[in-house]
Chain A
């Protein structure tokens, strides 16, 4: 077996920017958070590689939530386009990467056998979509704006309207799941899940602004949501990078 080339690592994850595992106001995190320190690993072949997806994996309507589960017509709700780019911390686009989303319907109800909220299921709305970014890192979805919904934490907690987003990047070290919120929602500041993120500037990074330039007249509003994955070191001084 010939030796592998020197790996070019990703920048270390900023753990002061990311939410801590243990965030007591989000109660479920209390029993589900490790208490021992994480073991910090320098990148090896196992971390700098990751799954590759192609157009064979998805179907053309997968990014159109208005149509991908429609039975008798379009779903009820405010029609929106969610669009943006997947970039890395160096500002470079991440092309051909898989972006998956899931969300509640306009009334705040999920199509899930474990969701028993009293708002009704929409027969024409599944609530999930997926797409690949293009060569410049752009992606878009068409959907309805999800409703806020109550959840059990304190007795009267409500999630702000949000869309769950999953992104891969090119390496297992870049794998990320997050949530997108909507500009101007007063529930954002009151949400214990949002507030697991300690830095207000970091929270702003999850709030999509209304983007009237991308709205379609007489059809859909639009929100812009850029996603940043970890960036990668350039191998300027290879001999220093292979140290223990």
Chain B
């Protein structure tokens, strides 16, 4: 027998279930418990950049909106800087910029939405520039392991983006594009399955 490698195994994922709000957004579950719920203020009041609102629905394989989904957002500031010690420019990140947000859907309509600023481009692997994007993580009842995707902007140049170019079927790249519906307002519907299925990523 060779020596054992002794790596641990990642804890297996389980669905967030229908009552994810109790833990992660108790106000929506119907009660106040924490002084401060986390994740409602992504950019802070002072960060420079274009203020935007993003709205959408998550659709299941039958085309129905998923009404008990929770989304988390992780994004860079308007200069493409992440507020994290491993970003080499972290010291210059916009004041009060958190970069992280958490939203749930309206229980009746399935619509979710959040306010933030438009991120800047981020330098990716090998110095290749990634177009402005939001990183999204989606959990819900029936989703056994959180789904990762990215939201890009239809009014940005995404032609050279290294992740977009990894998508073999070019028409599927459109599933990652948010539509501009009004100044500062974007629409991004996520399709879990079927025609127009969103490109999800194993990151």
Contact = CB atoms under 8 A, between A and B. Distances in A.
A112 B166 contact: no
B48 to A, nearest CB: 17
B23 A51 contact: no
Chain B at the A interface: SS class = loop
Contacts of A203: 12
B87 A45 contact: yes
**3 closest pairs, A vs B, by CB?**
A102-B23, A28-B142, A51-B100
Contact of B14 (A28, A58, A206): A206
Contacts of A1: 80, 123
B12 A202 contact: yes
A32 B192 contact: yes
B3 interface: no
A69 interface: yes
Interface in A15-39: 15, 17-21, 23, 26, 28-36, 38-39
Given A31-B192, A35-B197, A49 B19 contact: no
Nearest to B83: A52
Interface residues of A, number: 94
A31 B16 CA distance: 16
Contacts of B18: 112, 114-115
Contacts, number: 278
B197 A178 contact: no
Contacts of B86: 45, 48-49
B82 A49 contact: yes
A100 B24 contact: yes
A44 B125 contact: yes
A56 to B, nearest CB: 9
Contacts of B103: none
A34 B166 contact: no
Interface in B107-151: 107, 122-127, 130, 133, 135, 137, 139-148, 150
A231 B8 CA distance: 9
A30 B44 CA distance: 39
A153 B107 CA distance: 21
Contacts of B88: 2, 4-5
A32 B12 contact: no
Nearest to A5: B88
Interface in A66-121: 68-69, 87-91, 98, 100-102, 110-115
B61 to A, nearest CB: 4
B147 to A, nearest CB: 7
